[in-house]
């Protein structure tokens, strides 16, 4: 996309512009080819002269090639803003076609040229500038400047542009200006996002919107909600509010391609795309239950959208309004007295504004101390995902800075009855902020009748030494005395005995996985319990006899077909158990990477005991199977436009109902409020989700009295409280891998629901993968 109508353009010829005719040489005359008398001295002199001329020509061409051809110049665009302190804003400056706008724009362009001329790095590469907009604040000018920079000099020009503010200060201080020259300050500039310079944009739109008091406006992507947004499109909305107001932008829909390199929406706290003023960049899908609300720091905001030529989605819609500066929700800080209370960053749980500074002073009764607990802490931005140097947005508690993303229940305590909390956000990138509670505690006993973790959290005493990291810093699991039902890890931790030999390093030092296969040190245990040398693993030979020593070797090889191999569409087998849709084509015919557009939740994230509500679009493959005129009976999983996977007992006929016939059923796809579930009794009204753990097959078989076959596996939380239950039969147990989810199990049966040491039983889908493929073609 060309932001500036300046500079030459080069258009290469197409194939049609070239002369493609062919000329044939005439037949040779043999007589003319007979030997003749040599040319003599004159001919030799002429030959030498011609040779010298050729050498000179070649030398000239080489000089031209290496000197002039290597002087390749790259187009660099910079966006910026500056405050003009000796001008007063006029309403006419909002209209770029007004004579007032054009007159001031001409002055600003001249001023920019003068500023660039004072910098040796900028003056020789400068092409021109274009004034994009003006806003209040004396007058703030927003501009784009173009440079033609030699290859390899980009960094030096970037550095020179970064010091523009100092250059302007020096010019102002030198007194070279006059009353006719604009007095400028607060100069900000940055290189334009390279994606915005794409030449593939075929549709360009620019909208200017001024919000009105007590009115709610709307902006949306083209075609929304009736059709996807168009490809190769660039759109920007320049938003304004009245003086002493700020802009409030609320997205109720955001559904773009998940890769921000292709399609994206960017929000700027500016009227031009200055990267140091980016508030947020968004792509993918955001649930309506996750508020996407932004506040500007001043009375302007820029919303920008760009799309490429592939995978266009529904787009976005946002409400637009103006809020009085200093109104409720936009301010923060103050004195917080009393035994306990709650406070948060501005606009929480929505995004806090840029350029914000708040200070709270918490005071509890004398003789007490202050305990501050963060229920949520989200201050992440590019370059500060981790809580390390905290140079950008941060919360400071009694001199200690916190930033990035902190775990829930992060706790800080004071040594006196006063605590000072500071919140600061810089001029770019915002997040949802924080919510915190404070309470007065006894300095001598900060966790009465509870265990105090090293990170100052308080947990129930019975959670100490239970094998779980309840504190978050493992302090509740250190220096424990294990009982007979625990594994004594070599590092001092205690873990439940049923985690032994489950294939997971629960101890952290491998103690719980020692001596599990009966094989000696230096050997590996095959699936058929045979022992082979570790040196034979992944050597390309089937030493185990069942091929298990050649699995998960970081490569796949042609193998004889067994239950441990994968059969490609060409009937060849490869030595990888689950190669489908892992991003690497192991089959010669590429069939392991076909039909891989499924299993993706829209998120960048009947009744389940101990579960949590799901978000809309989080599990789009989930199905509720309803018996007509009765209600929910079973769950199922979509695996193609025509096929579902469910449990066999869900569709087994009985004496009165033909469950095997499609006409018996109704399908409910997506997120619905359920009012009936059949004989499961009271049920959750929202689809539930729960995290469970795969349990060692031998351990599970012992717990379930030997009822577990090779086609089943166990999953759950053996301490109880989380499980699938009645009405969940046929539903999926999915395993995430990268950006996809794979169907690992189907809810089958169990001994009660969420009982201690009674896991849920699931059908192992991989055991039926061949049969599913044979019957469905999927």
What HEC string does 184-220 produce? EEEEEEEECCHHHHCCCCCEEEEEEEECCCCCCEEEE
Q: Which of 251-265, 548-562, 664-678, 699-713 has the highest mean pLDDT?
A: 251-265
Please give the average per-residue pLDDT across 238-247, as a whole number: 95
Does residue 26 carry a pLDDT above 70?
A: no
pLDDT of residue 85: 92
* Phi, psi of 442, rounded to the nearest 5 degrees: -80, 125
- Distance, CA of 614 to CA of 626 (rounded, Å): 20
Please give the average per-residue pLDDT across 11-38, as a whole number: 36
Does residue 653 carry a pLDDT above 90?
A: no
pLDDT of residue 554: 59
pLDDT of residue 142: 97
Cβ(313)–Cβ(254) below 8 Å:
no
The 8-class DSSP code of residue 251 comes to: E
- Distance, CA of 78 to CA of 153 (rounded, Å): 15
pLDDT of residue 312: 85
pLDDT grade for 63, boundaries at 50, 70 and 90: low
Cβ(168)–Cβ(108) below 8 Å:
no
pLDDT of residue 8: 31
Q: Which residues, at least 6 apart from 738, have a Cβ–Cβ distance to it below 8 Å?
A: 582, 583
- Distance, CA of 507 to CA of 526 (rounded, Å): 23
What's the chain's average pLDDT?
Answer: 81
- Distance, CA of 131 to CA of 541 (rounded, Å): 70
pLDDT grade for 127, boundaries at 50, 70 and 90: very high
CATH number of 608-776: 2.40.10.10
Of 276, 297, 729, 748, which residue is the catalytic one? Answer: 729
Please give the average per-residue pLDDT across 557-583, as a whole number: 76
Cβ(450)–Cβ(459) below 8 Å:
yes
Of 445, 653, 698, 739, which residue is the catalytic one? Answer: 653
The continuous run of DSSP H or E covering 770 comes out as helix 769-776
pLDDT of residue 9: 31
Does residue 263 carry a pLDDT above 90?
A: yes
Reference 208, options 231, 248, 181, 236; nearest CA is: 236
pTM, entire model: 0.67
pLDDT of residue 20: 31
pLDDT of residue 65: 53
Q: Does this chain's domain 73-192 share its CATH topology with 334-446?
A: no
Least-confidence region, from 488-492, 565-569, 714-718, 770-774? 714-718
Does residue 37 carry a pLDDT above 80?
A: no
Does residue 676 carry a pLDDT above 80?
A: no
DSSP output for 697-748: HHHHHHHTTT---TTEEEEE-TTSS-EE-TT-TT-EEEEEETTEEEEEEEEE
Please give the average per-residue pLDDT across 272-290, as a whole number: 88
Cβ(607)–Cβ(684) below 8 Å:
yes
- Residue 653 designated active-site: yes
pLDDT of residue 723: 53
pLDDT of residue 673: 46
Please give the average per-residue pLDDT across 115-144, as a whole number: 94
Least-confidence region, from 79-83, 413-417, 645-649, 738-742? 738-742
Report helix, strand or coil for 517: coil
Does residue 278 carry a pLDDT above 50?
A: yes
Please give the average per-residue pLDDT across 259-270, as a whole number: 94
Please give the average per-residue pLDDT across 641-651, as a whole number: 89
pLDDT of residue 752: 65
pLDDT grade for 674, boundaries at 50, 70 and 90: very low
pLDDT of residue 588: 83
pLDDT grade for 12, boundaries at 50, 70 and 90: very low
pLDDT grade for 19, boundaries at 50, 70 and 90: very low
- The dihedral over CA atoms of 54, 60, 64, 65, expressed in degrees to the nearest 10, equals 40
Q: How far is CA 116 from the centre of its chain?
A: 38
Per-residue pLDDT tens for 754-771? 566 678 899 999 889 889
pLDDT of residue 754: 56
Per-residue pLDDT tens for 161-196? 988 888 888 877 776 544 457 899 899 999 999 899
List C-alpha distances in Å: 238 to 95, 258, 272: 12, 25, 8
Q: Could you identify the residue written with the tokens 């503010």?
A: 165
Of 361, 649, 702, 739, which residue is the catalytic one? Answer: 649
> Which has more pLDDT, 387 or 64?
387
pLDDT of residue 764: 92
Does residue 14 carry a pLDDT above 70?
A: no
Please give the average per-residue pLDDT across 644-655, as a whole number: 86
pLDDT of residue 67: 52
Does residue 611 carry a pLDDT above 80?
A: no
Cβ(303)–Cβ(219) below 8 Å:
yes
Does residue 465 carry a pLDDT above 80?
A: yes
Does residue 565 carry a pLDDT above 90?
A: no
pLDDT grade for 443, boundaries at 50, 70 and 90: confident
- The dihedral over CA atoms of 175, 177, 180, 186, expressed in degrees to the nearest 10, equals -100
Specify the pairing of strand 233-240 against strand 203-210.
Answer: parallel
pLDDT of residue 187: 92
Does residue 469 carry a pLDDT above 60?
A: yes
CATH number of 334-446: 2.60.120.290
Please give the average per-residue pLDDT across 555-576, as a whole number: 75
As separate numbers, helices (DSSP H) first and strands (DSSP E) second, the chain gives 7, 46
Does residue 374 carry a pLDDT above 70?
A: yes
Q: Which of 14-18, 360-364, 407-411, 504-508 has the highest mean pLDDT?
A: 360-364
Q: CA 421, 425, 427: angle at the middle one, nearest 5?
A: 160
Does residue 473 carry a pLDDT above 80?
A: yes
pLDDT of residue 520: 72
Please give the average per-residue pLDDT across 318-332, as a whole number: 88
pLDDT of residue 545: 81
Looking at domain 73-192, its CATH architecture is 2-Layer Sandwich (3.30)
Does residue 657 carry a pLDDT above 80?
A: no
- Distance, CA of 135 to CA of 89 (rounded, Å): 7
Does residue 35 carry a pLDDT above 70?
A: no
Q: Which residues, at least 6 apart from 149, have a Cβ–Cβ distance to it below 8 Å?
A: 73, 74, 76, 125, 157
Does residue 144 carry a pLDDT above 50?
A: yes
pLDDT grade for 605, boundaries at 50, 70 and 90: very low
Does residue 677 carry a pLDDT above 70?
A: no
Least-confidence region, from 206-210, 211-215, 291-295, 592-596? 592-596
pLDDT grade for 703, boundaries at 50, 70 and 90: confident
Does residue 452 carry a pLDDT above 70?
A: yes
Least-confidence region, from 200-209, 241-250, 483-492, 670-679? 670-679
The 8-class DSSP code of residue 94 comes to: G
Does residue 44 carry a pLDDT above 80?
A: no
The continuous run of DSSP H or E covering 406 comes out as none
Q: Say how many residues make up the chain.
A: 778
Q: What distance separates the 2 farthest-apart alpha carbons in the chain?
A: 123
Q: For the chain, which residues make up each domain, given as ranges? A: 73-192, 196-324, 334-446, 608-776
pLDDT grade for 599, boundaries at 50, 70 and 90: low
Cβ(187)–Cβ(168) below 8 Å:
yes
- Distance, CA of 3 to CA of 130 (rounded, Å): 8
- Distance, CA of 415 to CA of 396 (rounded, Å): 16
Reference 692, options 622, 750, 617, 634; nearest CA is: 750
Topology at the third CATH level for domain 196-324: Jelly Rolls (2.60.120)
């Amino acid at each position: 996309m060309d932001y500036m109508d300046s500079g030459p353009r080069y258009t290469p010829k197409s194939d049609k512009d070239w002369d493609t005719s062919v000329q044939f040489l005439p037949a040779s005359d043999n007589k003319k080819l007979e030997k003749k008398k040599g040319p003599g001295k004159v001919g030799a002199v002429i030959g030498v002269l011609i040779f010298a001329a050729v050498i000179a020509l070649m030398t000239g061409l080489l000089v031209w090639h290496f000197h002039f051809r290597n002087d390749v110049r790259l187009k660099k665009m910079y966006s910026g803003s500056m405050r003009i302190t000796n001008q007063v804003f006029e309403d006419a400056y909002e209209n770029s076609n007004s004579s007032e706008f054009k007159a001031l724009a001409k002055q600003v362009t001249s001023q920019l040229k003068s500023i660039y001329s004072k910098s040796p790095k900028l003056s020789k590469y400068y092409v021109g500038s274009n004034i994009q907009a003006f806003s209040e604040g004396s007058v703030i000018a927003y501009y784009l400047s173009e440079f033609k920079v030699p290859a390899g000099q980009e960094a030096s020009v970037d550095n020179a542009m970064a010091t523009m503010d100092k250059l302007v200060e020096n010019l102002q201080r030198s007194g070279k200006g006059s009353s006719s020259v604009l007095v400028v300050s607060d100069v900000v500039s940055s290189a334009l996002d390279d994606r915005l310079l794409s030449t593939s944009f075929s549709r360009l739109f620019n909208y200017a919107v001024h919000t009105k008091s007590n009115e709610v406006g709307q902006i949306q992507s083209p075609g929304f909600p009736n059709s996807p947004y168009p490809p190769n499109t660039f759109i920007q909305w320049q938003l304004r509010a009245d003086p002493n107001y700020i802009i409030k932008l609320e997205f109720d829909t955001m559904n773009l391609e998940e890769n921000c390199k292709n399609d994206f929406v960017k929000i700027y706290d500016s009227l031009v795309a200055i990267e140091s003023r980016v508030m947020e960049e968004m792509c993918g899908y955001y649930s309506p239950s996750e508020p996407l609300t932004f506040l500007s720091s001043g009375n302007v905001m820029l919303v920008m959208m760009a799309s490429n030529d592939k995978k266009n989605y529904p787009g976005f819609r946002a409400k637009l309004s103006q809020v009085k500066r200093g109104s409720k929700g936009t301010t923060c800080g103050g004195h917080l007295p009393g035994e306990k209370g709650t406070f948060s960053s501005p606009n929480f749980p929505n995004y806090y504004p840029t350029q914000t500074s708040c200070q709270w002073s918490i005071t509890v009764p004398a003789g007490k101390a202050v305990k501050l607990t963060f229920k949520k802490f989200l201050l992440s931005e590019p370059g500060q995902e981790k809580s390390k140097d905290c140079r950008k947005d941060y919360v400071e508690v009694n001199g200690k800075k916190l930033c990035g993303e902190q775990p829930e229940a992060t706790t800080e305590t004071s040594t006196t009855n006063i605590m000072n909390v500071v919140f600061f956000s810089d001029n770019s990138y915002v997040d949802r902020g924080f919510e915190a509670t404070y309470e007065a505690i006894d300095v001598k006993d900060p966790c009465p009748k509870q265990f105090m973790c090293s990170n100052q959290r308080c947990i129930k005493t019975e959670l100490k030494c239970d094998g779980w990291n309840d504190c978050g810093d493992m302090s509740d699991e250190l220096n424990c005395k294990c009982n007979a039902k625990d594994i004594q890890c070599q590092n001092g931790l205690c873990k439940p005995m049923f985690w032994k030999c489950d294939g997971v390093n629960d101890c952290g030092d491998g103690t719980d996985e020692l001596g599990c296969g009966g094989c000696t040190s230096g050997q590996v245990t095959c699936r058929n319990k045979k022992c082979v040398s570790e040196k034979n693993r992944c050597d390309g030979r089937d030493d185990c006899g069942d091929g298990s020593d050649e699995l998960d070797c970081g490569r796949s090889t042609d193998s004889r077909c067994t239950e441990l191999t994968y059969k490609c569409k060409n009937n060849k087998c490869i030595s990888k158990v689950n190669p489908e849709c892992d991003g690497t084509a192991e089959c010669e015919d590429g069939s392991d990477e076909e039909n891989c557009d499924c299993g993706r939740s829209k998120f960048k994230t009947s009744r389940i005991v101990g579960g949590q509500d799901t978000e809309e679009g989080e599990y789009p493959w989930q199905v509720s199977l309803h018996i007509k005129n009765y209600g929910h009976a079973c769950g199922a999983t979509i695996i193609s436009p025509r096929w579902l996977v469910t449990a066999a007992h869900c569709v087994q006929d009985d004496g009165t109902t033909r469950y095997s016939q499609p006409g018996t059923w109704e399908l409910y796809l997506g997120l619905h409020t359920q009012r009936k579930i059949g004989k499961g009794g009271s049920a959750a009204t929202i689809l539930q989700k729960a995290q469970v753990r795969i349990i060692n097959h031998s351990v599970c078989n012992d717990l379930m009295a030997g009822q577990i076959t090779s086609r089943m596996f166990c999953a759950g939380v053996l301490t109880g409280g989380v499980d699938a239950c009645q009405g969940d039969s046929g539903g999926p147990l999915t395993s995430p891998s990268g950006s996809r989810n794979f169907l690992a199990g189907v809810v089958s049966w169990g001994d009660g629901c969420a009982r201690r040491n009674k896991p849920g039983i699931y059908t192992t889908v991989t055991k039926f993968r061949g049969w599913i493929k044979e019957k469905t073609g999927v």
